[in-house]
Copies of this chain bind each other. A is one copy, B any other.
């Protein structure tokens, strides 16, 4: 139970146990009924010298990969924990994922969100059967811990736990299975749960493949952390500048240890490149990606010189965005073409 109480995994003398291939395989067995087995979609429009496939996690039940980690974490709860329910503080895809996974498991989920959260996200979370607890700005953690204290509810963190990392890693198993010769995997980085899991699976199964994280320039704390060798802390106002609202978190000690050990490099992309990649995905791959989900394709399209050559997979991690933003991106891309 303490496992989900939100503390970082203790890093004894700097040593952190990394998630193993077996952990990820076990996660895959647990979650297979609840996820969509997303295919690799070949991109005929890509550079023939660097064949590209996209992995459209936009097709998952809640529209993003987060469902994988949430299902795995919740499936690991004991009977007593299930009775007490789970809690999460997020207004993003993780909230939807926890709400959905809890409903599937027949347990109560409390999702703590700032009262300023767009109504559509509140409604969507309630539609999955979760109890939404609204709070003041900056009070989410406090309110979540009150619920934990009062009810004994179990916190499901967005990335800082081995079960979350292993769950997200199932996506990497699928890549390695579907394209055993994969050479480059591009994956968005925020808190680092997805990149940690994918890199753990892919590097174990395809030792020559390089997993490369992609960040917005405006929230490139991870690139700086990897360069300096230890976690830097960017103020939230700085990270919040990017349009990629799902990529404004920072790695924890646990995910950073995975990234250092298993991710080959981190590439950064501009806001314009993110918007262009969204338009390309819509028009050429017929996929609707949110900004955070499009950064991998932005790296492919605009940063070829920084990338290894070879068979490339870009993880399109999610597709939840404001319809007005989607319209805007598509309208602009039309204007540019005129």
Report the minimum CB–CB distance from A162 to chain B (whole Å): 27
> What distance in Å separates the Cβ of A241 from its nearest Cβ neighbour in chain B?
25
A287–B58 alpha-carbon span in the complex (Å): 9
A76 at the interface (CB under 8 A from B): no
A324 close to chain B: CB less than 8 A: yes
Distance A127 CA – B334 CA, assembled complex (angstroms): 22
B residues within 8 A CB of A127?
A: 44
Q: How far is the CB of A213 from chain B (nearest CB, A)?
A: 23
| A151 CB within 8 Å of chain B | no
Residue interface bits A299-334, CB-to-B below 8 A is 1, else 0: 000000000000000000001100110110011011
Collect the chain B residues with CB atoms within 8 Å of residue A56's CB: 59
Q: How far is the CB of A30 from chain B (nearest CB, A)?
A: 18
Q: A286 touches which one: B100, B283, B319, B324 (CB < 8 A)?
A: B319
- Which residues from chain B contact A320 at a C-beta distance below 8 Å? 286
Judged by a CB distance under 8 angstroms, whether A282 is at the interface is: yes
Map CB proximity to B onto A246-282 as digits: 1 under 8 Å, 0 otherwise: 0000000000000000000000000000000000001
Chain B residue with Cβ nearest A43: B61
A interface, over-half SS: mixed
Please tell me which one of the listed residues B39, B44, B319 contacts residue A62 in the complex, with CB atoms under 8 A apart.
Answer: B44
Cβ-defined contact, B58 with A42, below 8 A? no
Contacts of A41 in B (CB 8 A): 36, 59
Of the candidates B44, B283, B327, the one whose C-beta lies within 8 Å of that of A323 is B283
Asked whether, in the complex, the Cβ of A286 is within 8 Å of the Cβ of B327, the reply is no
A327 touches B319 (CB 8 A): no
- By beta carbon, the residue of chain B nearest A178 is B37
A interface residues, how many (CB within 8 angstroms): 34
Given known A41-B36, A286-B63, contact A324–B319 (CB-CB < 8 A): no
Q: Is the C-beta of A240 less than 8 angstroms from some C-beta in chain B?
A: no
Once bound together, how far apart are the Cα atoms of A337 and B206, in whole Å?
48
Query: Please, which residues of chain B bring their CB within 8 A of the CB of A225?
Result: none
Residues of B within 8 A of A44 (CB): 61-62, 100, 127-128
A329 to B18, CA, bound (A): 47
Assess the B39–A37 pair: CB atoms within 8 A.
Answer: yes
Closest chain B residue to A100, Cβ basis: B44
Instruction: Tell yes or no: A20 within 8 A of B by CB.
Output: no
Q: Does A38 contact B (CB under 8 A)?
A: yes
- Across-interface contacts of A42 in B (CB, < 8 A): 36, 61
Q: Are B39 and A36 in contact (CB under 8 A)?
A: yes
A-B residue pairs in contact (CB < 8 Å), sample of 11: A37-B39, A39-B39, A42-B61, A44-B62, A44-B127, A59-B287, A286-B288, A287-B288, A323-B330, A323-B337, A327-B331
Add 11 more A-B contacts to A286-B288, A286-B289 (CB < 8 A): A36-B39, A44-B128, A59-B286, A282-B288, A286-B320, A288-B288, A323-B334, A327-B327, A327-B334, A330-B330, A331-B331
Residues of A within 8 A of B (CB): 36-42, 44, 56, 58-59, 61-63, 100, 127-128, 282-283, 286-289, 319-320, 323-324, 326-327, 330-331, 333-334, 337
